[in-house]
């Protein structure tokens, strides 16, 4: 049995991840931590969790806790992940893995030295929708892949317009960058999962709307070790009518299109016609990956598909796009 302790129990733990730790076979949640004592107590009470703390190190050193879920903003991932592994407790970190590639290397170094595993919440690697995308490509439905293109554009959130009280994801010191770090990480990790590591990257970023200090528009080009070429464009200050969320995979036999965040059909276009695919998603979106991790830690499953090693590559790509 894996007994989890949560460091951070905000919005992401309410539905996306939190309930999945108890739904997974061989897994339970025994303690949670949040710096705001009342919010920690409230979360624990509502989810019937026996212990709550307002100090991360008290949770890490709780002998009943055998594994740690770090669900804080990226700034704190490195400190808490390293402390957990030094305490001999496997760690599951929210994405992005850390606020910089340099910090990812620090985490992975401690994992290597201690022998304690580190996993990262790139759960799309386990969702049937994206496994179908990967399967169609590997089955040769598109022939040889010539390129992949990410196009993503969304309007500002209402909260983005209040410069005196901006969301933490727009605070570089806390988040590492802006919405690019938060959202593009999913897309770039997915491409790493499908094609393997990216070896060359070039990018440009700017701030067009001036709503906040971090980047609001980003473009990048990259080449995978496998030879596939890719590009991406992201903007977080467009209008609703101009919104787009699509990844196009172009091959010698056709094109496959999918979305990352919207629940749109996978569309496969070849000389034989157009096919659409729809796949169910678990109620708690991280369930499949959490079960994958729990099985491994209980000795009944294979190495999870999202580790600190794979996740660090995504941070490397994002840093190259933003700062190269």
Q: Under a CB-based contact definition with an 8 Å cutoff, are residues 48 and 19 in contact?
A: no
Residues 80 and 106 in one domain: yes
Q: Is residue 315 part of a domain?
A: no
Residues 17 and 109 in one domain: yes
Give me 263's structure tokens: 């629940």
Residues 108 and 196 in one domain: no
Q: Is residue 23 part of a domain?
A: yes
Q: Is residue 317 part of a domain?
A: no
Closest CA to 104 of 322, 288, 318, 293: 318
Residue 292 backbone zone (phi > 0: left; psi -120 to 50: alpha; other: beta): alpha
pTM above 0.95, yes or no: yes
Q: Is residue 73 part of a domain?
A: yes
Please state the domain count of the chain.
2
Residues 265 and 206 in one domain: yes
The tens digit of pLDDT for each residue in 55-81 reads 999 999 999 999 999 999 999 999 999
Q: Is residue 90 part of a domain?
A: yes
Task: Find the mean pLDDT for residues 36-58.
Answer: 97
Work out whether strand 91-93 and strand 118-120 pair parallel, antiparallel, or are unpaired: parallel
The tens digit of pLDDT for each residue in 19-41 reads 999 999 999 999 999 999 999 99
Q: Is residue 248 part of a domain?
A: yes
Domain that holds residue 132: 128-279
Give me 213's structure tokens: 């200090």
Using DSSP's 3-state secondary structure scheme, residue 28 falls into strand
| CATH number of the domain to which 103 belongs | 3.40.50.720
Residues 192 and 119 in one domain: no
Residues 229 and 294 in one domain: no
The tens digit of pLDDT for each residue in 173-187 reads 999 999 999 999 999
Closest CA to 194 of 141, 153, 136: 136
Checking if the pLDDT of 324 tops 90, the result is no
Q: Is residue 241 part of a domain?
A: yes
Q: Under a CB-based contact definition with an 8 Å cutoff, are residues 178 and 74 in contact?
A: no
| CATH number of the domain to which 219 belongs | 3.30.360.10
Task: Find the mean pLDDT for residues 257-270.
Answer: 97
Give me 95's structure tokens: 């994405």
Q: How confident is the model at residue 124 (pLDDT cuts 50, 70, 90)?
A: very high
Q: Is residue 138 part of a domain?
A: yes
Residues 81 and 137 in one domain: no
Which residues, including other chains, have CB under 8 Å from residue 57's CB and lie 6 or more apart?
83
Task: Find the mean pLDDT for residues 220-227.
Answer: 97
Residues 139 and 206 in one domain: yes
pLDDT of 149? 98
Checking if the pLDDT of 231 tops 90, the result is yes
pLDDT of 92? 98
Task: Find the mean pLDDT for residues 137-148.
Answer: 98
Residues 116 and 18 in one domain: yes
pLDDT of 57? 98
Whether residue 96 is preceded by a cis peptide bond, meaning omega within 30 degrees of 0, is yes
């Amino acid at each position: 049995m894996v007994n989890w302790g949560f460091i951070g129990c905000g919005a992401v733990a309410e539905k996306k991840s939190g309930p999945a730790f108890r739904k997974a076979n061989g897994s339970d949640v025994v303690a949670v931590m949040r710096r705001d004592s009342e919010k920690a107590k409230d979360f624990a009470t509502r989810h019937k969790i026996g212990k709550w703390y307002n100090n991360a190190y008290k949770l890490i050193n709780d002998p009943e806790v055998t594994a740690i879920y770090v669900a804080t903003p990226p700034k704190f991932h490195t400190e808490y992940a390293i402390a957990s592994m030094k305490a001999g407790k496997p760690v599951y970190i929210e994405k992005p893995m850390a606020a910089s590639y340099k910090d990812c290397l620090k985490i992975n170094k401690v994992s290597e030295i201690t022998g304690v595993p580190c996993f990262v919440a790139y759960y799309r690697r386990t969702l049937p929708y994206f496994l179908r995308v990967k399967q169609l490509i590997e089955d040769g439905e598109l022939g040889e892949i010539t390129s992949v293109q990410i196009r993503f554009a969304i309007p500002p959130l209402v909260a983005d317009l209040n410069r005196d009280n901006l969301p933490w994801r727009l605070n570089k010191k806390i988040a590492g960058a802006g919405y690019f770090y938060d959202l593009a990480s999913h897309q770039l990790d997915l491409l790493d999962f499908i094609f393997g590591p990216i070896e060359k990257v070039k990018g440009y970023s700017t701030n067009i709307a001036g709503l906040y200090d971090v980047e609001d528009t980003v473009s990048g080009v990259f080449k995978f070790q496998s030879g596939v070429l890719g590009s991406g464009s992201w903007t977080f200050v467009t209008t609703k009518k101009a919104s787009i969320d699509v990844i196009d995979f172009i091959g010698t036999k056709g094109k496959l299109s999918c979305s990352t965040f919207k629940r749109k059909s996978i569309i496969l276009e070849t000389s034989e016609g157009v096919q659409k695919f729809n796949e169910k998603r678990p109620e708690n979106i991280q369930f499949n990956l959490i079960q994958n991790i729990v099985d491994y830690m209980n000795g009944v499953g294979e190495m999870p598909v999202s580790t600190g090693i794979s996740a660090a590559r995504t941070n490397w790509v994002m840093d190259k796009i933003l700062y190269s």
